[in-house]
């Protein structure tokens, strides 16, 4: 064997043979018969499992019963729940955080509606997609079965409508399994195959299997069946059913390997394989059964001698891939062996990644408590409150909606929601809440003190309720806007002698004196408007900038401080129409980038003002954040966080000594950019369009995390589509949406087009405009290559083909779709995010399964039969 192969095996293949006795009953089991009427719940299955109605685990949905039952499925698969209303409908299951579970969902159509139209829909696990359920492709239903470690005390399984058909589910089952089993380096394990090797036609599950795994029989014509009636000790943590271990197969040709092979449509699929082996024959003293275990021809364990009547489980602690999607698992007898190899039971799992973090557990608990207290029932208040963004609950805004940090709820709007009673104490558990709107309800009682202790709150709207008493002193603080008009029995002090007839807005941001100054400036402007046009521009700047920076928490710097921060403007980072950008530091430690407005730049001032207006009111992890500002006479400067890895554009070409980023990092950056744009489009009020999305405006921090910069051209638009008004066309040649360029009508799809061009750049590393080529624009160049079938030359050669081809082509298709000349054919940024996430996990989420076995019909009179996991 080659030395490099030996080294590889030494690093990746680890044998684990476990002998730990473990008992298990139904404690922790959840067995839901979906659609079962509550008056028929619970009931005991013939195998001893108790099944319950799902009514209390989900909201909404309607019940049905199968009309066609060709395989005689058990009772739990004859009823179902379908969801005609809403896009996402979820089940909420209480679990133990950190515990490993077998999660199984079963779907049987059975022509319950008499329409003969089998549905297609998505199955989500929390905020992540688990699988696409396509019952058109299955004759009698399907099973999705995986092993997953609970990341919180609540597990949410959601059915998501993707077309015209209605999602449905027949049964949902949770089984705790041993925490020392099915361990992965990352991700969860989706069941690929689970077989016991026998000529039998019956499935095995509870009570023969303490974990209620479903074992299907597998037998090939090239095998010989052997078995025993004696006991087989299955006492290791996998607890393989004894009945499965009492049978085994050997190759009929005793000198041949025992081979199982299959083909996956995804050549980069990663597998975990578990071989359960126990000797079932009494060998003579001069007989030996010894074999090696190989994966695609490479030995990873052996030689191994099975023990009589005692199970050993052989597996690796690292996932394995197959060459070109061709997988071959073999047991090969050694030269000293007198008997052929043997195998009793066999499991194969694929790695499935759930990259999107769930919303912070404390926030989820708080919002669910608020929902219960006020008996709120909203069709879209299901599943994770914050992610994925297209399913974010109405009335919420969230931060940290990237893949890696748990999102936090930052805004709660329950205005006009019919609330009654007092302000719920659960609100204080939303510790990152910045905006709370409880206006236009029927809330009574006083304003609670705990609101004053929520330091993150910037805006509280309690107007038009029936609140009474005095406002806590802690709420009369600087930087907090408190709206309380329409509460006649609520006052600012303990006296409360007179009801307030006028609108009360407590905004402790600027003093009365400051307000008087602003009024004086406005009056001065009016007086001087006609008489002194030469200084009008400066006065307008003064007034508008005062208004812009009023009521903000940003830190104000003096111009001498700016000079000191930049070391007298020593290091230039860049230059634009607004002026220069310099490197600096605050307090000698925090690095910043300082944009200084040129006094001669009229257009630069407008961009400067637009950027101020936007960045002082939006906050997102993928948007460059504003540290502070300088507004002192004619000196205007904005101070931003400094991103040391500079522009994305340089990392594609390697210019300026920048490193060339790999494929997976490019996809992650694309996802982060899309997340920032989606926030502008649907997370801002009013929604915003960036208008100048390009690789030069995407900056990277120390960890190559992407942040969108340069908001000088950003504009608001009418939510939900295009602007009703035309705007002066702005943007960068090559990235500019041709439809917007022609019509002047601004909409979010203009940013989608620009993003598509950025994604093409990241895939190809080609110039956006190349005047020396007949196909001068990057979309023309890519289209030309695709039409010639010359797709290999499209991907950036700097990647040296070190990328997953499936995800590369999927990303390429997405980029061309975004850059479609017609805005109506472009996806939304939410759809883009979903597709990029699919690209990111493409290598671990293949669905192709073609087991190379002899064709066979499997029939059974066993009433516990369930659909095959396919």
Q: pLDDT tens digit string along 834-870?
A: 889 888 876 344 332 333 333 322 222 233 344 444 3
> In this structure, is residue 118 part of a structural domain?
yes
Can you read off the two tokens belonging to residue 856?
């066979």
- Mean pLDDT of the region 654-681: 88
Instruction: In whole angstroms, give the CA distance from residue 382 to residue 318.
Output: 36
> In this structure, is residue 15 part of a structural domain?
no
pTM beyond 0.75: the answer is no
Given this model, what pLDDT does residue 714 score?
Answer: 73
Which of the pair, 190 or 851, is modelled with greater confidence? 190
Are both 335 and 365 inside the same structural domain?
no
Are both 669 and 632 inside the same structural domain?
no
Can you read off the two tokens belonging to residue 619?
């906050």
Whole domain around residue 607: which residue ranges? 552-641
Render 504-521 in DSSP notation, one character per residue. -EEEETB-HHHHHHHHHH
Are both 165 and 232 inside the same structural domain?
no
Task: Clarify whether 54 is annotated catalytic.
Answer: no
Which of the pair, 161 or 714, is modelled with greater confidence? 161
Please state which of the ranges 103-107, 199-203, 299-303, 546-550 shows the lowest mean pLDDT.
546-550
Residue 562, pLDDT > 80, answer: yes
Please state which of the ranges 386-390, 505-509, 702-706, 784-788 shows the lowest mean pLDDT.
505-509
Residue 551, pLDDT > 60, answer: no
Instruction: Give percent of the chain above pLDDT 70.
Output: 81
Given this model, what pLDDT does residue 502 score?
Answer: 42
Q: 790 falls in which pLDDT band (50, 70, 90)?
A: low
Point out the catalytic residue in the list 312, 692, 737, 804.
Answer: 692
pLDDT tens by residue, 115-158: 999 999 999 999 999 999 999 988 789 999 999 999 999 999 99
Given this model, what pLDDT does residue 576 score?
Answer: 65
Are both 774 and 657 inside the same structural domain?
yes
pLDDT tens by residue, 694-724: 998 999 998 899 999 887 677 776 544 444 4
What's the chain's average pLDDT? 83
> In this structure, is residue 595 part of a structural domain?
yes
> In this structure, is residue 719 part of a structural domain?
yes
Are both 206 and 281 inside the same structural domain?
yes
Given this model, what pLDDT does residue 147 score?
Answer: 98
Are both 628 and 669 inside the same structural domain?
no
Given this model, what pLDDT does residue 52 score?
Answer: 96
Walk across the sheet containing 459-461 and list its strands: 396-399, 408-413, 435-437, 459-461, 480-483, 505-508
Q: 493 falls in which pLDDT band (50, 70, 90)?
A: low
CATH number of the domain that 624 lies in?
3.30.200.20
Are both 220 and 75 inside the same structural domain?
no
Residue 442, pLDDT > 70, answer: yes
Contact in structure between 468 and 499 (CB atoms under 8 Å): no
pLDDT tens by residue, 451-484: 999 999 999 999 999 999 999 988 988 889 999 9
Are both 675 and 617 inside the same structural domain?
no
- Mean pLDDT of the region 534-544: 35
Render 433-463 in DSSP notation, one character per residue. --EEE--SSEEEEPPPGGGGG-TT--EEE--
Given this model, what pLDDT does residue 89 score?
Answer: 97
Report how far apart, in Å, the C-alpha atoms of 684 and of each of 199, 383, 719 are.
Answer: 62, 23, 10
Are both 304 and 251 inside the same structural domain?
yes
Which of 594, 622, 641 corresponds to the end of one domain? 641
pLDDT tens by residue, 210-245: 999 999 999 999 999 999 999 999 999 999 999 999
Pairing of strands 442-445, 420-421: parallel
Residue 430, pLDDT > 50, answer: yes
Please state which of the ranges 277-281, 483-487, 576-580 shows the lowest mean pLDDT.
576-580
Residue 113, pLDDT > 70, answer: yes
CATH number of the domain that 141 lies in?
2.60.120.430
Instruction: In whole angstroms, give the CA distance from residue 628 to residue 565.
Output: 12
* 785 annotated among ligand-binding-site residues: no
Q: Is 592 helix (H, G, I), strand (E, B) or coil?
A: strand
Can you read off the two tokens belonging to residue 521?
């400036």
Are both 689 and 563 inside the same structural domain?
no
> In this structure, is residue 61 part of a structural domain?
yes
Residue 672, pLDDT > 90, answer: yes
Which of 116, 148, 179 corresponds to the end of one domain? 179
Which of 354, 372, 405 corresponds to the end of one domain? 354
Q: Which of 806, 842, 844, 869 is nearest to 188 (CA)?
A: 844
> In this structure, is residue 866 part of a structural domain?
no
| Number of Cβ within a 10 Å radius of residue 221 | 8
Please state which of the ranges 368-382, 500-514, 823-837 shows the lowest mean pLDDT.
500-514
Given this model, what pLDDT does residue 721 score?
Answer: 47
Q: 833 falls in which pLDDT band (50, 70, 90)?
A: very high
Which of the pair, 655 or 709, is modelled with greater confidence? 709
Distance of CA 178 to the CA centre of its chain: 27
Are both 331 and 390 inside the same structural domain?
no
Are both 716 and 815 inside the same structural domain?
yes
CATH number of the domain that 279 lies in?
2.60.120
Which of the pair, 627 or 256, is modelled with greater confidence? 256
Given this model, what pLDDT does residue 578 score?
Answer: 67
> In this structure, is residue 237 part of a structural domain?
yes
pLDDT tens by residue, 342-360: 999 999 999 999 989 999 9
Bridge-partner residues for 481, per DSSP?
459, 507
Can you read off the two tokens belonging to residue 530?
């006609």
What is the total count of domains within the chain?
5
Given this model, what pLDDT does residue 772 score?
Answer: 80
> In this structure, is residue 836 part of a structural domain?
yes
Residue 174, pLDDT > 90, answer: yes
Instruction: In whole angstroms, give the CA distance from residue 235 to residue 24.
Output: 12
């Amino acid at each position: 064997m080659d030395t490099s192969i030996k080294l590889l095996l030494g690093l990746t293949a680890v044998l684990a043979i476990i002998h730990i006795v473990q008992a298990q009953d139904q404690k922790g089991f959840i067995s839901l018969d979906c659609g079962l009427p509550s008056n028929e719940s619970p009931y005991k299955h013939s195998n001893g499992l108790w099944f319950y109605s799902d009514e209390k685990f989900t909201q909404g949905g309607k019940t049905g019963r199968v009309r066609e039952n060709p395989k005689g499925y058990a009772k739990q698969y004859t009823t179902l729940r379908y969801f005609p209303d809403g896009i996402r409908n979820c089940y909420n299951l209480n679990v133990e955080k950190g515990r490993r579970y077998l999660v199984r969902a079963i779907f049987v159509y059975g022509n319950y509606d008499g329409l003969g139209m089998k549905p297609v829909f998505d199955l989500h696990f929390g905020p992540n997609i688990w699988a696409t359920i396509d019952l058109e492709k299955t004759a009698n239903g399907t099973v999705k079965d995986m092993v997953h470690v609970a990341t919180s005390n609540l597990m949410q399984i959601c059915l998501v409508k993707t077309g015209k058909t209605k999602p449905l589910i027949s049964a949902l089952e949770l089984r705790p399994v041993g925490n020392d089993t099915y361990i992965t380096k990352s991700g969860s394990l989706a069941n690929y195959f689970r077989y016991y090797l026998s000529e039998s036609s019956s499935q095995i599950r509870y009570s023969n299997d303490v974990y209620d795994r479903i074992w299907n029989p597998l037998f090939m014509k090239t095998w010989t069946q052997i078995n025993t009636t004696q006991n087989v000790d299955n006492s290791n943590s996998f607890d393989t059913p004894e009945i499965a271990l009492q049978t085994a197969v050997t190759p009929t040709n005793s000198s041949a390997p025992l081979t199982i092979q299959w083909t996956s449509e995804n050549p980069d699929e990663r597998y975990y394989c578990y071989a359960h082996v126990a000797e079932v024959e009494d060998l003579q003293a001069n007989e030996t059964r010894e074999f090696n275990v190989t994966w695609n021809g490479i030995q990873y364990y052996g030689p191994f001698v099975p023990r009589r009547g005692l199970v050993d489980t052989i597996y690796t602690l690292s996932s394995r891939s197959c060459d070109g999607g061709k997988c071959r698992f073999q047991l090969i007898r050694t030269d000293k062996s007198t008997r052929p190899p043997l195998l009793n039971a066999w499991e194969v799992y694929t790695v499935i990644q759930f990259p999107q973090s769930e919303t912070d557990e404390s926030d989820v608990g708080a919002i669910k408590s608020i929902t219960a207290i006020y008996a709120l029932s909203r069709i879209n208040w299901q599943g994770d409150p914050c992610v994925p963004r297209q399913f974010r609950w109405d009335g919420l805004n969230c931060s940290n909606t990237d893949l890696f940090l748990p999102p936090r709820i930052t805004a709660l709007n329950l205005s006009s929601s019919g609330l009654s009673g007092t302000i719920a104490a659960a609100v204080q558990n939303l510790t990152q809440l910045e905006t709370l709107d409880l206006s236009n309800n029927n809330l009574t009682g006083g304003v609670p003190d705990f609101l004053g202790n929520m330091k993150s709150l910037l805006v509280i709207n309690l107007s038009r309720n029936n609140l009474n008493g005095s406002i806590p002193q802690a709420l009369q603080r600087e930087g907090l806007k408190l709206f309380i008009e329409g509460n006649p029995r609520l006052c600012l002090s303990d006296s409360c002698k007179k009801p307030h007839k006028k609108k009360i807005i407590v905004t402790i941001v600027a003093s009365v004196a400051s307000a008087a100054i602003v009024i004086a400036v406005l009056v001065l402007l009016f007086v001087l408007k006609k008489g002194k046009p030469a200084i009008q521009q400066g006065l307008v700047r003064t007034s508008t900038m005062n208004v812009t920076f009023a009521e903000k928490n940003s830190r104000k710097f003096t111009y001498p401080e700016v000079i000191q921060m930049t070391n007298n403007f020593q290091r230039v980072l860049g230059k634009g129409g607004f002026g220069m950008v310099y490197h600096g530091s605050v307090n000698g430690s925090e690095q910043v980038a300082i944009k200084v407005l040129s006094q001669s730049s009229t257009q630069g001032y407008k961009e400067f003002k637009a950027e101020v207006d936007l960045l002082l009111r939006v906050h997102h992890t993928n948007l460059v954040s504003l540290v502070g500002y300088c507004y002192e006479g004619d000196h205007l400067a904005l101070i931003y966080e400094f991103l040391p890895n500079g522009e994305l554009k340089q990392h594609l070409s390697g210019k300026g000594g920048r490193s060339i980023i790999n494929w997976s990092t490019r996809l992650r950056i694309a996802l982060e950019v899309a997340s920032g744009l989606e926030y502008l489009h649907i997370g801002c009020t009013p929604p915003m369009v960036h208008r100048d999305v390009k690789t030069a405006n995407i900056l990277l921090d120390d960890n190559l995390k992407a942040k969108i910069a340069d908001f000088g051209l950003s504009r608001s638009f009418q939510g939900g589509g295009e602007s009703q008004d035309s705007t002066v066309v702005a943007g960068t040649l090559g990235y500019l949406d041709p439809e917007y360029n022609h019509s002047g009508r601004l909409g979010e799809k203009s940013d989608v087009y620009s993003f598509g061009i950025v994604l093409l750049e990241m895939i190809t590393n080609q110039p956006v405009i190349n005047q020396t080529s007949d196909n001068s624009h990057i979309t023309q160049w890519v289209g030309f290559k695709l039409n010639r079938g010359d797709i290999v030359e499209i991907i950036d050669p700097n990647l040296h083909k070190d990328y997953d081809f499936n995800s590369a082509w999927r990303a390429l298709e997405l980029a061309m779709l975004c850059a479609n000349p017609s805005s109506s054919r472009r996806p939304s940024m939410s759809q883009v995010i979903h597709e990029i996430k699919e690209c990111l996990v493409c290598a671990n989420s293949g669905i192709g399964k073609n087991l190379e076995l002899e064709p066979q019909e499997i029939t059974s009179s066993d009433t516990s039969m369930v659909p095959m996991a396919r």
